[in-house]
Amino acid sequence: MKEIRLSEWIGEGFYDIHRDIREGRHTHYWLKGGRGSGKSSFLSLEILLGLIADRDANAVVLRKVAANLRDSVFEQMNWAIHALGVEEEWEKKISPMELIRKWTGQKILFRGCDDPKKLKSIKFQRGYAKFIWYEEADEFGGMAELRSLNQSLLRGGEKLCVFYSYNPPKQGRSWINLETAEERADRLIHHSTYLQMKEEWLGKQFLAEAEYIRKRHPEIYRHEYLGEVTGSGGEVFRNLMLREITDAEIAAFDRLRRGLDWGYAVDPLHYTVNHYDRTRRRLYIFYELRAQGMSNRRLAEEAAGQCIRSRHGIVLFTEEGLVYMDGTNPDNDWELKYPIYENDCYYEMLRFAYRKQVSVELENYCAWKAWLNRNFT
């Protein structure tokens, strides 16, 4: 291997974590950052140097989807091999995708997690999987999935290193943002940005584009280039503020609106109470009920005394656990004076009066919701 200076290949923002890995202070390393932050280049070099230093060490590099391996992490590891000048030491294989160090038999395996069961059969002729790298870790389903994969791969060896690299999702409630907010003794969280990289590594065009986005779209710049979490958990609205709404504020609200999105098994039921400030064009959401598997009767108990108003009438949740509708618009000569009873997945509307008595049966929830949309929106 040719003699190199690490400063020629990694940004100064990675010097501390490099020392931490070399001294074995932690097991789990979470590397987050925006575009051009250099985290993938750093990890590819770190893994390669680790294998050269320890002949019993092997590595497994993972992506959520196998089809993404070749053009991302496989090319990245080949870049590191070239950067260190050790091309003659390594053999490349595409099927299965792996890099083999010729005179030691050490391997760098590249696997997709489309079928996690296949990872349980990974074995090394020599040594153990000292390095695990989850690239684009936010693409995985959650910490439970990563724990299961780690349990399959982290076997043998005294010192293990697990790397998780990702661009932080915008949503604050994303599982990976919540996970990395928790402190653990065996975990190090590292944040890098392109500002810590040498300008010649990035190129003039990259820097010009970053500067344009910074001036014209500061929120996009903060998220995409600085790797900041700029959202609250909802993707529809960007201009959200999370804070406690005081009882005094609620007492002064005079434009109350209530929303109900029905759900049960897969999609949860969602009920909110809101106030709209027309002058400032602000929407205040100060009561929220969200649950899976919640029946209408239980919803009525949870939201007893609350009601949903529309221009045609009211849906009232009573303490008895029944949902009533009562027409309040004098322009409509109709009243709904009956409960909607819960009966498995069926809802019957009894004694429906609209100018004259008409008996209507709604066979299922979808038909009932369609009727509600026609008459209450």
For 225-269, give the DSSP string. TT------S-SS-SS----PPPHHHHHH---EEEEEE---SSSPE
Residue 340 has pLDDT above 50, yes or no: no
Please, are residues 239 and 247 in contact by the beta-carbon 8 Å criterion? no
pLDDT at 41: 94
Residue 345 has pLDDT above 70, yes or no: no
Query: What's the average model confidence in pLDDT over 7-36?
Result: 92
Between CA 336 and CA 348 the distance in angstroms is 13
Residue 293, sorted as left (phi over 0), alpha (psi -120 to 50) or beta, turns out to be left
pLDDT at 372: 52
Phi–psi pair at 161, nearest 5 degrees: -130, 120
The confidence band for 117, taking pLDDT boundaries of 50, 70 and 90, is confident
Domain 6-221: CATH superfamily, name plus number: P-loop containing nucleotide triphosphate hydrolases (3.40.50.300)
Residue 311 has pLDDT above 70, yes or no: no
Query: What's the average model confidence in pLDDT over 323-332?
Result: 39
The confidence band for 3, taking pLDDT boundaries of 50, 70 and 90, is low
If residue 272 lies in a helix (H) or strand (E), which one and from where to where?
strand 269-277
Q: Is 324 helix (H, G, I), strand (E, B) or coil?
A: strand
> Which residues pair with residue 189 across a beta bridge?
30
Residue 96 has pLDDT above 80, yes or no: yes
Strand order in the sheet with 352-354: 334-335, 352-354, 356-358
Residues shown for the chain: 377
pLDDT at 99: 97
Percent of the chain at pLDDT exceeding 70: 76
The confidence band for 1, taking pLDDT boundaries of 50, 70 and 90, is low
Residue 56 has pLDDT above 80, yes or no: yes
pLDDT at 357: 29
Residues contacting residue 336 through CB under 8 Å, at least 6 positions apart: 313, 324, 325, 326, 327, 349, 352, 353
Residue 349 has pLDDT above 50, yes or no: no
* Six-digit token string for 293: 């598997």
Domain spans in the chain, listed from the N-terminal domain onward: 6-221, 247-376
Residue 225 has pLDDT above 50, yes or no: yes
Query: What's the average model confidence in pLDDT over 40-50?
Result: 95
The confidence band for 121, taking pLDDT boundaries of 50, 70 and 90, is confident
Residue with tokens 């693409």: 139
Between CA 53 and CA 161 the distance in angstroms is 14
**164-218 confidence digits (pLDDT tens):** 999 999 888 888 998 998 889 999 999 999 999 999 999 999 999 999 999 999 9
Between CA 362 and CA 350 the distance in angstroms is 9
Nearest to 46 by CA among 139, 157, 162, 191: 162
Query: What's the average model confidence in pLDDT over 124-146?
Result: 92
Nearest to 322 by CA among 307, 342, 343: 342
Q: Using omega within 30 degrees of 0 as the cis cutoff, is the peptide bond preceding 96 cis?
A: yes
pLDDT at 125: 85
Residue 12 has pLDDT above 60, yes or no: yes
CA 208 from chain centre, in angstroms, equals 30
* Six-digit token string for 227: 């790797």
DSSP assignment, residue 351?
S
Active site residues: 136
Round the average pLDDT of the chain to a whole number and report it: 78
**275-284 confidence digits (pLDDT tens):** 888 888 888 8
Helices and strands, number each (H, E), in the chain: 11, 19
16-30, 87-101, 224-238: range with lowest mean pLDDT: 224-238
pLDDT at 122: 86
